[in-house]
Amino acid sequence: MKKIDLRKIQVLKIIVEEYLKTGEITGSKSLLKKHDMGVSSATVRNDMAALEKMGLIFQPYNSAGRLPTHRGIRVFVDYLMEHMNSVFVEAENAVLARQETERLDDALYHIAARLTKATKEISFACVPSVGTNYYLGLSHYLERQGPSLGTETYGVIKVLENKHRFIDLVSGLDFPGKIGVFIGEENVIPELESSAMILKRTELDGKTAFVGILGPLKMDYAFNIAALKNLP
């Protein structure tokens, strides 16, 4: 049988694993939806066509999906036999990465919860390198605004809900030392020109993290700065 390149092996592996788990066919679009291979749908379709010519997969009916042939399953099993150690290492690394992310998420949540409980302000904790951010305390902010919610209130909500933009803002703020205070237009984003932010740069599981408080200009700066300083 003609030698298969690594990407085609990966495509075959995914098709076989999907079939063994669900019995369902796999199409190029559904494959790329679940697995980031860094190639286009057309490239995957070409790989599927090549695998079909080799007799490793087939099209059960007139659709874009494919199922493995017995021969395809045999090639998959032979691949496992030859690369079993690396397959287990990959699986173990995936589990460890997932556990690390969950641990990080829990840590960020507890930091934000502790800070907002102490300050009664919007508190957040984020790790830019993994794109994770938690914020709490919005209810305190809205309660203080009362029945007249101005445009700045909606601006704050809009900024917080756009997670990636907010993380970029926070990680892009320049300040000496561990703690910085940004008042009004110093926050860079127009929606926060009527707000103040106190920010602490720290380390969490070996990654750079930012913990902060976002609130009105008339906040208790002394207490809030002290609350951030007392966080580990």
Residues 156 and 59 in one domain: no
Mean pLDDT over each residue of the chain, to the nearest integer: 83
Tell which of 96, 131, 163 closes a domain: 96
Over residues 51-60, the pLDDT tens digits come to 998 889 999 8
DSSP string, 117-185: HHH-SEEEEEEGGGTEEEEE-HHHHHHHHTT---HHHHHHHHHHHSHHHHHHHHHH---SSSEEEEEGG
* Domain count across the chain: 2
pLDDT of residue 76: 84
pLDDT at 226: 93
Domain end residue (candidates: 96, 129, 153): 96
Q: Is the pLDDT at 181 greater than 90, yes or no?
A: yes
Model pLDDT for residues 118-128, shown as the tens digit of each residue: 999 999 999 99
Residues 55 and 104 in one domain: no
Q: Provide the CATH number for the domain around residue 11.
A: 1.10.10.10
Same domain (yes/no): 79, 158? no
Give pLDDT, residue 142. Answer: 76
Same domain, 88 and 133: no
Are residues 89 and 167 located together in one domain of the fold?
no
Q: Which residues span the domain enclosing 108?
A: 100-229
* pTM, 2 dp: 0.56
Whether residue 92 has pLDDT greater than 80: no
